[in-house]
């Protein structure tokens, strides 16, 4: 009786182990897929959705601010406090003149990188686009004090200096020209 049960147990173990070498059943991953369909992520950057940031930067540089904002918004859905995505989103919204949306991004961004050159430069540019030249100057000067050799800040200060010489006009003032 003892030999029959040990023989039966050995046969069951052999049948169970033979299933592990079968091609159709033995090549499964932990997710139930074929193991070869699982992508190797060893070569990816730390931020897995970096392609959204890259796409947003490309669209922004090409002047497609709506698309840049959409890509940045998708990146913010993945990582809501990502400084790069917040800066891109705010800058794109500024260029689209959606200052309410830009302000939301700047409010989230200020506690994260509030006293950095990128924040002051971008927020200063936003203020300049809105016509608030005093606030723009304040932020450009703060950025300049952090890094006096930064060419972008110097260019924005020059742009601000040039824009103060032009009077603000009401819409429709120049229609006869």
Confidence class for position 2, pLDDT limits 50, 70, 90: low
C-beta of residue 120 within 8 angstroms of C-beta of residue 143: yes
24-28, 47-51, 167-171: least confidently modelled range: 24-28
Between 91 and 79, residue with greater pLDDT = 91
- Indicate the pLDDT class of residue 44, thresholds 50, 70 and 90: very low
The domain segmentation of the chain, as residue ranges, is 46-113, 115-164
Q: What is the pTM of this model?
A: 0.66
The topology under which CATH files domain 46-113 is: 1.25.40
Confidence of residue 12 (pLDDT cuts 50, 70, 90): low
Question: Hey, what are 122's tokens?
Answer: 């971008």
Helix (H) or strand (E) holding 10: helix 2-18
In this structure, how many other beta carbons lie within 10 angstroms of the beta carbon of residue 141? 15
Provide φ and ψ at 136, rounded to 5°: -60, -45
Largest pairwise CA distance in the chain:
111
Residue 13 in this model has a pLDDT that exceeds 50: yes
């Amino acid at each position: 009786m003892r030999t029959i049960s040990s023989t039966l147990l050995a046969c069951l173990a052999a049948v169970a182990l033979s299933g592990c070498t079968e091609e159709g059943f033995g090549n499964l991953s932990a997710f139930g897929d074929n193991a070869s369909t699982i992508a190797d992520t060893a070569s990816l950057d730390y931020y897995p959705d970096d392609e959204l940031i890259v796409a947003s930067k490309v669209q922004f540089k090409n002047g497609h601010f709506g698309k840049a904002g959409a890509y940045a918004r998708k990146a913010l859905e993945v990582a809501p406090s990502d400084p790069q995505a917040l800066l891109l989103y705010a800058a794109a919204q500024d260029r689209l003149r959606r200052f309410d949306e830009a302000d939301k991004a700047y409010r989230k961004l200020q506690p994260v990188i509030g006293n950095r050159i990128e924040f002051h430069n971008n927020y200063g540019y936003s203020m300049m686009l809105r016509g608030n030249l005093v606030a723009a100057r304040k932020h450009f000067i703060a950025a300049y004090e952090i890094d006096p050799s930064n060419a972008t800040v110097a260019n924005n200060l020059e742009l601000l200096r040039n824009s103060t010489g032009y009077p603000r006009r009401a819409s429709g003032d120049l229609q006869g020209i």
